[in-house]
Amino acid sequence: MFKDKKIVFSGVQPTGVLTLGNYLGALRNFSAFSDEYHCYYCVVDEHAITVRQDPGELRRRTYDMIALYIACGLDPERNTLFVQSHVPAHAELSWILNCFTMFGELSRMTQFKDKSKKNADNVNAGLFTYPVLMASDILLYQTDLVPVGSDQKQHLELSRVIAERFNHVFSDTFTVPEPYIPKTGAKIMSLADPTKKMSKSDENENAVVRILDPRDVIIKKFKRAVTDSGSEIKRAPGKDGVGNLMTVYSVFTGKSDREIEKEFEGKGYGDFKAAVGEVCADALAPVQAEFARLSADKKYLEEVMKKGAEEAGYNARRTLAKVRRKVGFIDLPRD
- Would you name the residues annotated as active-site residues? 115, 197, 200
Sheet (strand 145-147) strand order: 80-83, 37-43, 6-12, 145-147, 178-180
Task: Give me the half-sphere count of Cα atoms (radius 13 Å) on the Cβ side of residue 315.
Answer: 24
Cβ 208 vs Cβ 200: under 8 Å: yes
Q: Is 254 left (phi over 0), alpha (psi -120 to 50) or beta?
A: left
- Give Cβ neighbours of residue 24 (< 8 Å, ≥ 6 apart): 185, 186, 188, 248, 251
Q: Rounded to whole angstroms, what are the CA distances from 309 to 1, 254, 305, 315, 317?
A: 15, 37, 6, 10, 11
Does residue 40 sit in helix, strand or coil? Answer: strand
Helices (H), the chain: 20-22, 28-30, 45-48, 55-71, 89-98, 103-107, 110-118, 125-139, 153-170, 215-223, 240-253, 257-263, 269-295, 298-327
Q: Is 203 left (phi over 0), alpha (psi -120 to 50) or beta?
A: alpha
Burial class (CB in 10 A: 0-12, 13-18, 19+), 216: exposed
Q: Rounded to whole angstroms, what are the CA distances from 207 to 198, 218, 226, 235, 308?
A: 7, 11, 9, 20, 34
Alpha-carbon span 12 to 62, nearest angstrom: 10
Alpha-carbon span 192 to 198, nearest angstrom: 9
